[in-house]
Amino acid sequence: MLKIALAVNEPPPYRIPIFNLIAAAPDIDLQVIFFCRREPNRLWDLPPIAFDHVFLRERISTVNGRYIHNNPDVLLALSRFKPDVVLGNGFNPSHMYALGWTRFKHKAYVPMTDGTLDSERMLSSLHKRLRRFTYARASRFIAASNGGIALYKSYGIPNERCLLSCLCIDNARFKPESINIEKSFDFIFCSRIEAAKSPDFALEVAHKTALLLNRRTRILFVGSGTQEQATRTLAKEYAEHVDTHFHGFASQQELPALYQSAKIFLFPTQADVWGVVANEACASGLAVMVSPHAGAAGELIVDEQNGHVCELNAGLWATRAAALLKDERRLQAYGERSLLQVERYRFDLAAQGIMQACREASEHECNTQENFIS
Protein backbone atom coordinates (compact mmCIF):
# COMPACT_ATOMS: atom_id res chain seq x y z
CA MET A 1 0.00 0.00 0.00
CA LEU A 2 1.51 3.32 -1.11
CA LYS A 3 0.84 6.12 1.36
CA ILE A 4 0.51 9.55 -0.27
CA ALA A 5 0.09 12.90 1.47
CA LEU A 6 -0.87 16.03 -0.42
CA ALA A 7 0.04 19.34 1.18
CA VAL A 8 -2.19 22.01 -0.35
CA ASN A 9 -3.35 25.50 0.54
CA GLU A 10 -7.12 24.92 0.52
CA PRO A 11 -9.72 22.55 -0.99
CA PRO A 12 -9.82 23.31 -4.75
CA PRO A 13 -13.20 22.28 -6.25
CA TYR A 14 -11.66 21.23 -9.56
CA ARG A 15 -9.19 18.90 -7.81
CA ILE A 16 -11.48 17.27 -5.22
CA PRO A 17 -12.99 14.75 -7.71
CA ILE A 18 -9.43 13.79 -8.69
CA PHE A 19 -8.45 13.25 -5.06
CA ASN A 20 -11.60 11.16 -4.60
CA LEU A 21 -10.51 8.86 -7.45
CA ILE A 22 -6.98 8.51 -6.06
CA ALA A 23 -8.36 7.62 -2.62
CA ALA A 24 -10.52 4.91 -4.24
CA ALA A 25 -7.49 3.16 -5.80
CA PRO A 26 -6.97 -0.21 -4.04
CA ASP A 27 -3.20 0.18 -3.67
CA ILE A 28 -3.14 3.75 -2.34
CA ASP A 29 -3.74 5.29 1.08
CA LEU A 30 -4.29 9.03 0.61
CA GLN A 31 -4.46 11.90 3.05
CA VAL A 32 -4.81 15.54 2.01
CA ILE A 33 -3.48 18.16 4.42
CA PHE A 34 -5.19 21.51 3.92
CA PHE A 35 -3.52 24.61 5.29
CA CYS A 36 -6.90 26.35 5.60
CA ARG A 37 -10.57 25.74 4.87
CA ARG A 38 -10.85 28.59 2.36
CA GLU A 39 -8.74 31.59 1.43
CA PRO A 40 -10.57 34.90 2.01
CA ASN A 41 -11.12 35.73 -1.69
CA ARG A 42 -12.71 32.40 -2.65
CA LEU A 43 -16.45 31.84 -3.09
CA TRP A 44 -16.21 28.27 -4.31
CA ASP A 45 -18.88 25.59 -4.11
CA LEU A 46 -17.15 22.40 -3.03
CA PRO A 47 -18.13 18.94 -4.32
CA PRO A 48 -18.37 16.07 -1.79
CA ILE A 49 -15.05 15.11 -0.18
CA ALA A 50 -14.59 11.32 -0.07
CA PHE A 51 -10.96 11.10 1.01
CA ASP A 52 -9.11 11.27 4.31
CA HIS A 53 -8.18 14.87 5.06
CA VAL A 54 -7.17 17.22 7.84
CA PHE A 55 -7.47 20.99 8.21
CA LEU A 56 -4.58 22.68 9.98
CA ARG A 57 -5.02 25.75 12.15
CA GLU A 58 -5.14 28.70 9.79
CA ARG A 59 -1.96 30.74 9.82
CA ILE A 60 -2.25 33.09 6.85
CA SER A 61 -0.59 36.44 6.21
CA THR A 62 -1.05 38.73 3.23
CA VAL A 63 1.91 40.04 1.22
CA ASN A 64 1.28 42.21 -1.86
CA GLY A 65 -2.21 40.79 -2.16
CA ARG A 66 -1.03 37.17 -1.98
CA TYR A 67 -1.90 34.76 0.82
CA ILE A 68 1.13 33.21 2.52
CA HIS A 69 0.66 30.01 4.54
CA ASN A 70 3.23 29.59 7.31
CA ASN A 71 2.15 26.64 9.40
CA PRO A 72 4.69 24.27 10.98
CA ASP A 73 1.77 22.09 12.13
CA VAL A 74 2.15 20.33 8.76
CA LEU A 75 5.16 18.54 10.29
CA LEU A 76 3.01 17.00 13.02
CA ALA A 77 0.34 15.98 10.51
CA LEU A 78 2.94 14.24 8.33
CA SER A 79 4.51 12.48 11.31
CA ARG A 80 1.12 11.10 12.29
CA PHE A 81 0.26 9.85 8.79
CA LYS A 82 3.78 8.63 7.87
CA PRO A 83 3.47 8.89 4.05
CA ASP A 84 5.83 7.34 1.53
CA VAL A 85 5.36 10.29 -0.83
CA VAL A 86 4.47 13.92 -0.19
CA LEU A 87 3.10 16.17 -2.92
CA GLY A 88 3.29 19.93 -2.61
CA ASN A 89 1.44 22.36 -4.87
CA GLY A 90 3.34 25.51 -3.99
CA PHE A 91 6.27 27.20 -2.30
CA ASN A 92 4.72 28.65 0.83
CA PRO A 93 6.65 28.12 4.08
CA SER A 94 4.20 25.30 4.88
CA HIS A 95 5.24 23.50 1.68
CA MET A 96 8.91 23.95 2.54
CA TYR A 97 8.32 22.40 5.97
CA ALA A 98 6.77 19.40 4.17
CA LEU A 99 9.79 19.18 1.86
CA GLY A 100 12.11 19.27 4.88
CA TRP A 101 10.14 16.45 6.51
CA THR A 102 10.66 14.21 3.46
CA ARG A 103 14.42 14.84 3.43
CA PHE A 104 14.72 14.08 7.15
CA LYS A 105 12.62 10.90 6.81
CA HIS A 106 14.12 9.84 3.45
CA LYS A 107 10.77 9.95 1.67
CA ALA A 108 9.91 11.15 -1.82
CA TYR A 109 8.71 14.68 -2.52
CA VAL A 110 6.80 15.49 -5.73
CA PRO A 111 6.20 19.15 -6.74
CA MET A 112 2.96 20.03 -8.52
CA THR A 113 2.45 23.17 -10.59
CA ASP A 114 -0.36 24.80 -12.53
CA GLY A 115 2.15 27.41 -13.72
CA THR A 116 3.64 28.09 -17.14
CA LEU A 117 6.58 30.04 -18.51
CA ASP A 118 4.20 32.93 -19.16
CA SER A 119 2.66 32.94 -15.69
CA GLU A 120 6.08 32.83 -13.98
CA ARG A 121 7.97 35.18 -16.29
CA MET A 122 7.97 37.98 -13.69
CA LEU A 123 9.17 35.93 -10.72
CA SER A 124 11.92 37.42 -8.60
CA SER A 125 15.34 35.79 -8.35
CA LEU A 126 14.43 34.67 -4.82
CA HIS A 127 11.33 32.85 -6.04
CA LYS A 128 13.34 31.16 -8.80
CA ARG A 129 16.05 30.08 -6.35
CA LEU A 130 13.36 28.56 -4.13
CA ARG A 131 12.07 26.55 -7.08
CA ARG A 132 15.56 25.35 -8.02
CA PHE A 133 16.14 24.32 -4.41
CA THR A 134 12.90 22.31 -4.37
CA TYR A 135 13.30 20.77 -7.81
CA ALA A 136 16.83 19.59 -7.03
CA ARG A 137 15.35 17.41 -4.28
CA ALA A 138 12.67 15.73 -6.39
CA SER A 139 12.76 12.94 -8.96
CA ARG A 140 9.26 13.31 -10.42
CA PHE A 141 7.19 16.38 -11.23
CA ILE A 142 3.51 17.00 -11.96
CA ALA A 143 2.30 19.69 -14.36
CA ALA A 144 -1.24 20.72 -15.22
CA SER A 145 -0.39 21.45 -18.85
CA ASN A 146 2.23 21.20 -21.56
CA GLY A 147 3.07 24.75 -20.56
CA GLY A 148 3.95 23.43 -17.11
CA ILE A 149 6.25 20.80 -18.60
CA ALA A 150 7.97 23.55 -20.60
CA LEU A 151 8.36 25.48 -17.34
CA TYR A 152 10.05 22.51 -15.69
CA LYS A 153 12.29 22.13 -18.74
CA SER A 154 13.49 25.72 -18.25
CA TYR A 155 14.89 24.51 -14.89
CA GLY A 156 16.74 21.66 -16.60
CA ILE A 157 14.21 18.92 -15.79
CA PRO A 158 13.85 16.37 -18.61
CA ASN A 159 10.39 15.60 -19.99
CA GLU A 160 10.55 11.93 -18.95
CA ARG A 161 10.49 12.96 -15.29
CA CYS A 162 7.34 15.03 -15.73
CA LEU A 163 3.78 13.70 -15.56
CA LEU A 164 0.58 15.46 -16.61
CA SER A 165 -2.43 15.94 -14.35
CA CYS A 166 -4.71 18.28 -16.24
CA LEU A 167 -7.14 20.77 -14.78
CA CYS A 168 -10.62 19.62 -15.63
CA ILE A 169 -14.31 19.74 -14.80
CA ASP A 170 -17.28 17.38 -14.95
CA ASN A 171 -17.76 17.68 -18.71
CA ALA A 172 -21.04 15.74 -18.71
CA ARG A 173 -22.80 18.40 -16.61
CA PHE A 174 -22.29 21.03 -19.32
CA LYS A 175 -23.21 19.01 -22.42
CA PRO A 176 -25.57 20.98 -24.68
CA GLU A 177 -27.98 18.09 -25.27
CA SER A 178 -28.69 17.90 -21.54
CA ILE A 179 -29.96 21.50 -21.51
CA ASN A 180 -32.44 23.23 -23.80
CA ILE A 181 -31.73 26.95 -23.46
CA GLU A 182 -32.24 29.68 -26.06
CA LYS A 183 -28.97 31.37 -27.04
CA SER A 184 -30.11 34.89 -26.27
CA PHE A 185 -26.63 36.36 -25.69
CA ASP A 186 -23.89 36.91 -28.24
CA PHE A 187 -21.21 36.82 -25.55
CA ILE A 188 -20.63 35.52 -22.05
CA PHE A 189 -17.90 36.63 -19.64
CA CYS A 190 -17.65 34.26 -16.68
CA SER A 191 -14.99 35.03 -14.10
CA ARG A 192 -14.20 37.19 -11.11
CA ILE A 193 -14.78 40.76 -12.21
CA GLU A 194 -11.27 42.00 -11.49
CA ALA A 195 -8.88 44.16 -13.50
CA ALA A 196 -6.64 41.18 -14.36
CA LYS A 197 -9.59 39.46 -16.06
CA SER A 198 -10.27 42.52 -18.31
CA PRO A 199 -14.06 42.88 -18.00
CA ASP A 200 -13.83 46.36 -19.53
CA PHE A 201 -12.08 44.85 -22.55
CA ALA A 202 -14.93 42.34 -22.96
CA LEU A 203 -17.42 45.21 -23.01
CA GLU A 204 -15.34 47.07 -25.56
CA VAL A 205 -15.30 43.98 -27.79
CA ALA A 206 -19.07 43.74 -27.55
CA HIS A 207 -19.34 47.42 -28.46
CA LYS A 208 -17.01 47.26 -31.45
CA THR A 209 -18.71 44.07 -32.65
CA ALA A 210 -22.07 45.84 -32.56
CA LEU A 211 -20.69 48.60 -34.79
CA LEU A 212 -19.34 46.04 -37.25
CA LEU A 213 -22.62 44.10 -37.34
CA ASN A 214 -24.71 47.26 -37.44
CA ARG A 215 -26.92 45.89 -34.67
CA ARG A 216 -27.02 45.83 -30.90
CA THR A 217 -25.10 43.00 -29.24
CA ARG A 218 -25.88 41.30 -25.94
CA ILE A 219 -23.35 40.25 -23.31
CA LEU A 220 -23.82 38.37 -20.04
CA PHE A 221 -21.43 38.91 -17.11
CA VAL A 222 -21.30 36.06 -14.59
CA GLY A 223 -19.29 36.68 -11.44
CA SER A 224 -18.52 39.42 -8.96
CA GLY A 225 -15.50 41.40 -7.87
CA THR A 226 -13.96 44.76 -7.14
CA GLN A 227 -14.38 46.00 -10.73
CA GLU A 228 -18.10 45.26 -10.96
CA GLN A 229 -19.25 48.83 -10.32
CA ALA A 230 -16.74 50.24 -12.83
CA THR A 231 -17.93 47.70 -15.39
CA ARG A 232 -21.57 48.64 -14.77
CA THR A 233 -20.69 52.30 -15.29
CA LEU A 234 -18.98 51.51 -18.59
CA ALA A 235 -21.96 49.39 -19.63
CA LYS A 236 -24.18 52.46 -19.30
CA GLU A 237 -21.91 54.36 -21.68
CA TYR A 238 -22.24 51.55 -24.25
CA ALA A 239 -25.96 50.99 -23.67
CA GLU A 240 -26.95 52.29 -27.11
CA HIS A 241 -25.03 49.49 -28.81
CA VAL A 242 -24.65 46.83 -26.11
CA ASP A 243 -27.34 45.19 -23.99
CA THR A 244 -25.42 44.18 -20.85
CA HIS A 245 -26.72 41.84 -18.16
CA PHE A 246 -25.04 41.16 -14.79
CA HIS A 247 -25.93 37.84 -13.19
CA GLY A 248 -23.58 38.10 -10.23
CA PHE A 249 -21.95 35.13 -8.53
CA ALA A 250 -23.26 31.81 -9.88
CA SER A 251 -23.34 28.44 -8.15
CA GLN A 252 -22.05 25.34 -9.91
CA GLN A 253 -25.64 24.27 -10.49
CA GLU A 254 -26.44 27.49 -12.34
CA LEU A 255 -23.40 27.56 -14.62
CA PRO A 256 -24.40 25.10 -17.39
CA ALA A 257 -27.58 26.98 -18.29
CA LEU A 258 -25.74 30.32 -18.20
CA TYR A 259 -23.09 29.11 -20.66
CA GLN A 260 -25.76 27.64 -22.89
CA SER A 261 -27.48 31.00 -23.14
CA ALA A 262 -24.55 32.47 -25.13
CA LYS A 263 -22.76 31.90 -28.44
CA ILE A 264 -19.17 33.01 -27.76
CA PHE A 265 -17.16 32.87 -24.56
CA LEU A 266 -14.82 35.83 -24.02
CA PHE A 267 -11.73 35.10 -21.92
CA PRO A 268 -9.48 38.20 -22.17
CA THR A 269 -7.37 37.40 -19.14
CA GLN A 270 -4.09 39.20 -18.51
CA ALA A 271 -2.71 36.21 -16.59
CA ASP A 272 -4.14 32.75 -15.87
CA VAL A 273 -2.10 29.61 -15.28
CA TRP A 274 -4.88 27.69 -17.05
CA GLY A 275 -8.50 28.90 -16.76
CA VAL A 276 -11.02 26.16 -15.95
CA VAL A 277 -13.75 28.51 -17.19
CA ALA A 278 -12.42 27.63 -20.65
CA ASN A 279 -13.12 23.96 -19.89
CA GLU A 280 -16.68 24.89 -18.89
CA ALA A 281 -17.20 26.88 -22.08
CA CYS A 282 -15.81 24.08 -24.27
CA ALA A 283 -17.90 21.45 -22.50
CA SER A 284 -20.91 23.68 -23.23
CA GLY A 285 -20.09 23.62 -26.93
CA LEU A 286 -19.13 27.28 -27.25
CA ALA A 287 -16.60 28.97 -29.48
CA VAL A 288 -13.96 30.53 -27.24
CA MET A 289 -11.91 33.69 -27.69
CA VAL A 290 -8.92 33.82 -25.36
CA SER A 291 -5.78 35.85 -24.82
CA PRO A 292 -2.40 34.08 -25.09
CA HIS A 293 -1.92 34.77 -21.37
CA ALA A 294 -4.10 31.79 -20.34
CA GLY A 295 -2.49 28.39 -20.03
CA ALA A 296 -5.44 26.89 -21.92
CA ALA A 297 -4.52 28.94 -25.00
CA GLY A 298 -2.92 26.77 -27.65
CA GLU A 299 -3.78 23.55 -25.77
CA LEU A 300 -7.50 23.41 -25.03
CA ILE A 301 -8.25 26.44 -27.22
CA VAL A 302 -6.64 26.13 -30.64
CA ASP A 303 -6.73 29.16 -32.93
CA GLU A 304 -9.20 28.78 -35.82
CA GLN A 305 -10.24 25.31 -34.65
CA ASN A 306 -12.55 25.92 -31.71
CA GLY A 307 -12.04 29.65 -31.32
CA HIS A 308 -9.37 32.31 -31.51
CA VAL A 309 -6.21 33.02 -29.53
CA CYS A 310 -5.65 36.78 -29.84
CA GLU A 311 -3.53 39.43 -28.23
CA LEU A 312 -5.56 41.96 -26.26
CA ASN A 313 -6.53 44.18 -29.18
CA ALA A 314 -10.26 44.97 -29.00
CA GLY A 315 -10.51 45.78 -32.71
CA LEU A 316 -9.03 42.40 -33.65
CA TRP A 317 -11.30 40.54 -31.24
CA ALA A 318 -14.35 42.38 -32.56
CA THR A 319 -13.47 41.63 -36.19
CA ARG A 320 -13.15 37.92 -35.46
CA ALA A 321 -16.24 37.85 -33.25
CA ALA A 322 -18.32 39.60 -35.90
CA ALA A 323 -17.16 37.11 -38.54
CA LEU A 324 -18.22 34.23 -36.30
CA LEU A 325 -21.61 35.72 -35.48
CA LYS A 326 -22.31 36.23 -39.19
CA ASP A 327 -21.36 32.63 -40.02
CA GLU A 328 -23.67 30.25 -38.16
CA ARG A 329 -22.10 27.12 -39.70
CA ARG A 330 -18.60 28.15 -38.63
CA LEU A 331 -19.81 29.08 -35.16
CA GLN A 332 -21.42 25.66 -34.82
CA ALA A 333 -18.30 23.90 -36.13
CA TYR A 334 -16.15 25.69 -33.54
CA GLY A 335 -18.58 24.62 -30.80
CA GLU A 336 -18.48 21.00 -31.93
CA ARG A 337 -14.70 21.11 -31.98
CA SER A 338 -14.71 22.48 -28.42
CA LEU A 339 -16.67 19.42 -27.31
CA LEU A 340 -14.07 17.15 -28.89
CA GLN A 341 -11.13 19.10 -27.46
CA VAL A 342 -12.38 18.99 -23.88
CA GLU A 343 -12.92 15.21 -23.88
CA ARG A 344 -9.19 14.73 -23.21
CA TYR A 345 -9.45 16.74 -19.98
CA ARG A 346 -10.98 14.27 -17.54
CA PHE A 347 -10.74 13.51 -13.84
CA ASP A 348 -9.65 9.89 -14.36
CA LEU A 349 -6.70 10.87 -16.57
CA ALA A 350 -5.68 13.59 -14.13
CA ALA A 351 -5.76 11.08 -11.25
CA GLN A 352 -3.66 8.60 -13.24
CA GLY A 353 -0.96 11.24 -13.78
CA ILE A 354 -0.65 11.92 -10.05
CA MET A 355 -0.62 8.24 -9.09
CA GLN A 356 2.00 7.37 -11.69
CA ALA A 357 4.26 10.21 -10.53
CA CYS A 358 3.97 9.04 -6.92
CA ARG A 359 4.69 5.41 -7.75
CA GLU A 360 7.77 6.33 -9.78
CA ALA A 361 9.01 8.78 -7.15
CA SER A 362 8.62 6.24 -4.35
CA GLU A 363 10.45 3.58 -6.36
CA HIS A 364 13.27 6.02 -7.15
CA GLU A 365 13.61 6.97 -3.48
CA CYS A 366 13.73 3.32 -2.41
CA ASN A 367 16.41 2.56 -5.00
CA THR A 368 18.42 5.58 -3.89
CA GLN A 369 18.33 4.44 -0.24
CA GLU A 370 19.29 0.87 -1.17
CA ASN A 371 22.26 2.11 -3.19
CA PHE A 372 23.30 4.38 -0.32
CA ILE A 373 23.20 1.53 2.21
CA SER A 374 25.08 -0.87 -0.07
pLDDT for the residue numbered 307: 97
pTM given for the model? 0.90
Report pLDDT digits (tens) over 305-354: 999 999 999 999 999 999 999 999 999 999 999 999 999 999 999 999 99
What domains, with CATH codes, occur in the chain? 2-168+346-373 (3.40.50.2000), 171-342 (3.40.50.2000)
∠ Cα 129 132 137 (to 5°): 135
Of 174, 161, 144, 167, whose CA–CA distance to 18 is shortest?
167
Report pLDDT digits (tens) over 148-163: 999 999 999 999 999 9
What phi and psi, each to the nearest 5 degrees, are found at residue 298?
85, -10
Report pLDDT digits (tens) over 182-227: 899 999 999 999 999 999 999 999 999 999 999 999 999 999 999 9
pLDDT for the residue numbered 374: 56
What phi and psi, each to the nearest 5 degrees, are found at residue 244?
-105, 130
- Written in H, E and C, the secondary structure of 204-261 is HHHHHHHHHHCCCEEEEEECCCCCHHHHHHHHHHCCCCEEEEEEECCCCCCHHHHHHC
